[in-house]
Amino acid sequence: MARYQQAIYDGQFTGMFGTGFWSQDLFGEGTDMVTSVKKNVAENIEILYLLEDHMGDYNVEITEEELAEMDKAAAKFIEDNTKEAISQMGATQEYVKEMLRLNTIQAKMQAAIEAETDTEVSDEEAAQKTISYVKVNSKSTTDDEGNTKEYTEEEKENLKKEVEAFAASAKDDFKAAAEAAGYTVSEGAYGKDDETLDKALTEGADKLKEGEISPVLVGEEAFFVARMDSTFDKEATEKKKTEIVEKRQSDHYKEVCDGYKEGVKYEVNEKEWAKVKFDDLFTIKQEETEASGEEAQDSDSAEDGGETGDSDPAEDSGEEAQDSDSAEDGGETGDSDPAKDSGEETGDSKDTEE
C-alpha cells in the first residue's frame, strides 16, 4: 500500500517539485513526505480493519459476485504490469484483492454512516450574500525590481484618498470604474460566522442594500470598496447548504471511526516498517494506445525500469472502491498492503482491550 501510494505521488509531484520532494514538508505537517505518508498509510490500515469489524452494525456485506469481480480486477492488474514494477510495489494478486475488498467495505460503511446525518438545512443557517469588491494593499508596495517597501503614514493617507475617489466614481459602473483606476474586481459570497473574507469588508458590506457601493472600508492591511450584488443569493445559498451537509457527514463519519478506535490496541512493528523506503522513484509515462486512442499511464521505476500499465484495480473491480480520505485526514490507500507484505511488513497487530 505504501509503495503504491509512493508511485501515485511520484507521478503527481516530481514534475512540480523535483525528485527531492520526499524530503520536503508538502502537507504542512511539520515533517517530511516519507514520514507523513507512512504515518497516514498505517493509520488508514487500522481504520479499514476496524470498519470491517463493525460491518454488522450497518448490515454491510460483500457478496460473492463482488469478490469474483475483485479477483478479476486483481488478476488484470498483475497481468497488465511488469514483474519489475509489481516487485517494486510489493504487490501480489492476493494483496490487490485485499485492498479492493477493504476499500469496498470502507465505501459501503462510509455511505451507511453518513446516511444517518441530518440533511435538512434552513435558509437562515445557509443564507449567503454576494458582493463585488476591490482590495488595495495599504501596508506595502512592490517596485519594478521586485523589492517590497512599506508605506509611510503620509503615503497611506494619499492612497486612501485615491481609493475614495474610485469609490465616488464607481456608483454607476463598478467594474468600469475599477478598470479605469487600475484595480481588480473580485467576487465573494459570505454568511453569518463566515471568516473567509476580511472582517472589515463583510461588516461594511452588511450595511449595504443591493446595488449600493460602500465607502472606503479600512482593514488591517488593505482598503476595500464593496458593492452589494445580492443580500440573499439563492445559488450561493444552495451551494452552502451542500457544504454544510457534507461537513456534517464528514464529522459524523470521523466521530464513528474515532469511537471504533477506543479500547483497541494497535501496534506497528517499527523495525519492519522502517524497511519501507521511497528511494527508488517511479515516473509516469503517457502514451496513446492504438486500440482505444486513450492515454494510458505507465509507472516506471527510475532504477530498474519496472513499468506499471494503465490498469486500475479499483475501477476494474466494478465497485466504487474509493480511496479512504485524503492524506490530510489520515487516509491513504493503495494497491499493496504493507501490513501483509513480507518484504515491507509493518507487523501491525490489533487487539481489543477488554
Question: Is it true that domain 129-231 has CATH number 3.10.50.40?
Answer: yes
Output the pLDDT for position 279. Answer: 86
pLDDT tens profile 256-278: 999 999 989 888 889 989 988 88
Binning pLDDT at 50, 70 and 90, where does residue 313 land?
A: low
Other Cβ atoms less than 10 A from the Cβ of 350: the count is: 14
Residue whose grid cell is 492488474: 77
* pLDDT top residue among 8 and 310: 8
Rounded CA separation 272/338 (Å):
10
Rounded CA separation 53/260 (Å):
9
Strands, E assignment, 22-108: none
Rounded CA separation 212/165 (Å):
16
Output the pLDDT for position 125. Answer: 97
Binning pLDDT at 50, 70 and 90, where does residue 302 land?
A: very low
Q: How far is CA 316 from the centre of its chain?
A: 24
What stretch(es) of the chain map to CATH 3.10.50.40? 129-231
pTM assigned to the model: 0.74
The grid cell for 218 is: 479600512
Other Cβ atoms less than 10 A from the Cβ of 177: the count is: 21
Q: Which of 164, 159, 160 is nearest to 177 (CA)?
A: 164
End-to-end CA distance of the chain: 30
Rounded CA separation 98/105 (Å):
11
The C-alpha angle 318, 323, 327, rounded to 5 degrees, equals 170
Contact 319, 70 (CB under 8 A): yes
Other Cβ atoms less than 10 A from the Cβ of 57: the count is: 13
Flag the least confident range among 120-124, 182-186, 349-353: 349-353
